[in-house]
Amino acid sequence: MAHETDVKVRFCETDALGHISNISYFIYLEEARTDFFGEMGFEMGIGDWKFILASAACDFVSQGYFNQKLKVISEIGRIGNSSFTIIHRIVDGGGKLIATGEASIVFFDFENQRSERLPDWFRERLADHMAETSEAG
């Protein structure tokens, strides 16, 4: 099951040509990830935070514009021992693909400064959101 986050493009997120600025896509993907984590049952306070972004990528497929309503569709692409990958699609109101993204997330123990095994309950929730073409590993 995919997670969906609605985004409305603000003026400050566009460039001099009136297109969505490249960096703004990463902000949309971050918003979708944090919403996704909250939906899966994680506390969203800084003291409870358990995630490190190990890598992030975004491919720009079509142009986006100020005041456009977009949807970020997020699914799990891979589940490892202490990390997982989220894959994203950003589409406009008509379903046209605007961008794709991927983020690798490490479950992290900040006190001991090391990765930590994904808890079984969280692994199960991640598996509920697997993309159809992906496999848990």
Tell me, yes or no, if the pTM score tops 0.85. yes
105 lies in some domain: yes
pLDDT at 137 > cutoff 70: no
132 lies in some domain: no
Contacts of 112 (CB under 8 A, 6+ apart): none
89 lies in some domain: yes
134 lies in some domain: no
Give the residue-averaged pLDDT of 1-30.
95
Contacts of 72 (CB under 8 A, 6+ apart): 4, 5, 6, 7, 28, 29, 31, 32, 88, 89, 90
137 lies in some domain: no
13 lies in some domain: yes
- 126 and 76 in contact (C-beta within 8 Å)? yes
The tally of domains found in the chain comes to 1
Output the domain CATH number for residue 86: 3.10.129.10
11 lies in some domain: yes
CA dihedral of 22, 24, 25, 30, whole degrees rounded to 10: 140
Q: Give tens-digit pLDDT for 22-69.
A: 999 999 999 999 999 888 887 777 877 889 999 999 999 999 999 999
Strand 51-60 and strand 83-92: pairing? unpaired
133 lies in some domain: no
Domain that holds residue 30: 3-127
What pLDDT score was predicted for residue 48?
79
Banded model confidence at residue 93, pLDDT cuts 50, 70, 90? very high
